[in-house]
Amino acid sequence: MKLDLKKDLLQKEIPTNNWLWKDSQPEVIRNVSVNVELPLNKENELVMKKLIDFVRYSQDPELNKKENEDYLRPAVGLAAPQIGSNVNMFFARFEWDVETNDVEEFAMINAKIIAKSDQICCLSDGEGCLSVDTNHKGLVPRNYKIQVQGYDWLTNEEVDLTLRGYHAIVFQHELEHNNGQLYYDRINKEEPDFKDENWIII
C-alpha cells in the first residue's frame, strides 16, 4: 500500500515514534487492558485509527525511509497499550506481495483466544517489539494454531478466526500486549536458544 498522506490517513497526525510507550513505562505496558463498548466512542476510535495509520505508514518504504529523522521500525502489528491506551484493541497487517496487493488487515477489538493447539512453533530469528529497545535474543515459543474471536473494526463484524503459523504468532504477540505481557517473558532464561525437537520453526 502506497499511502497518500493527504487522503489515506484515518486521523490528522503523521505517525511518529513519539506515540510509542516502552517497557520502561510499566504503568501502561505491563497493565492489563479492558474490553471496550461498541460502537467505539470517539476516544477509542482515535486509538484504532492511530494503530492502523502507524502500521501502514511504517510499512511504506517511500514515506518511511531509513534516512528519515523519525524513521519508524516497520511493524506487522501494534496494540493499543503501545500508544498509551489500556484498551483491548490491536491492528495487524500482513503484506505478502506489494505488486499484486496481496494484503491482509485485521483491526481487532475485544479479541480473545478461545482454543489453541498443543503444537508449539517459533520464529527462527526470535521476535522484536516497538516497545522494547533492548535486544532480547532467544526463541519465543507460541501455539502453532489458535482460534480467536473478536470484532473487526474494518469489516464491522464479529469474527471467528482460525490462525496458524506466522498469523498465529503475530496475533499472540499483540494479544499478550493487552494482557501486560511481552515477548521476552517467554524466552527460556537459562537457555535462550532452547528448542524442543517437536517444535515447528518458521
Q: Is 173 annotated as a binding residue?
A: yes
157 as an active site residue: the answer is no
Dihedral of the CA atoms 171, 168, 201, 117 (nearest 10)?
130
Q: Among 174, 176, 191, 197, which one carries the catalytic annotation?
A: 174
Give the whole-angstrom CA distance, residue 67 versus residue 85.
Answer: 29
136 is in an annotated binding site: no
Distance CA 8, CA 29 (A): 29
Catalytic annotation, residues = 174
Positions at the binding site for Fe cation: 129, 173, 177
